[in-house]
Amino acid sequence: MIVVGNHVIDASLRLKCRQRERYGLRSLIQKMVAERGARWSSVPLGSPAGVDGPFLEGSDMLLNGYEIYVGMSGCASDMAGIDWLQAVLGERYRVIPVALRSNVLHLDCALA
């Protein structure tokens, strides 16, 4: 789950073994979102083989006000996920891709 402002977003994970994680708390999250008047969105699932996205993982995101940095290493989030996020959030937010080395899993790993 990713939260940006009043948007609550189901992530789309690249690793096949993790793709079902989004369903574990979905009903609870949707109920809370409805009670609080937030907006719920779900990134469309990418290919099960993890080749074609969109993929968007929470650990790849860094929020800085209305700027959102999203890591791209080829291991997790991809440009299709970044484009999807920008479309959902609209012009108020600026989604900025951050190129990472291919051996870095997520943006939070690079920052740590």
**Confidence label for 26 from pLDDT (cuts 50, 70 and 90):** confident
Q: What is the pLDDT of residues 30-44, one digit of tens each?
A: 888 889 989 999 999
Which tops the pLDDT comparison, 55 or 48? 55
Q: What is the pLDDT of residues 57-86, one digit of tens each?
A: 988 999 999 999 999 998 899 999 999 999
SS (H, E, C) the chain: CEEECCEEEECECCCHHHHHHHHCCHHHHHHHHHHHCCEEEECCCCCCCCCCCCCECHHHEEEECCEEEEEECCCCCCHHHHHHHHHHHCCCCEEEEEECCCCCCCHHHHHC
Instruction: Give the pTM.
Output: 0.88
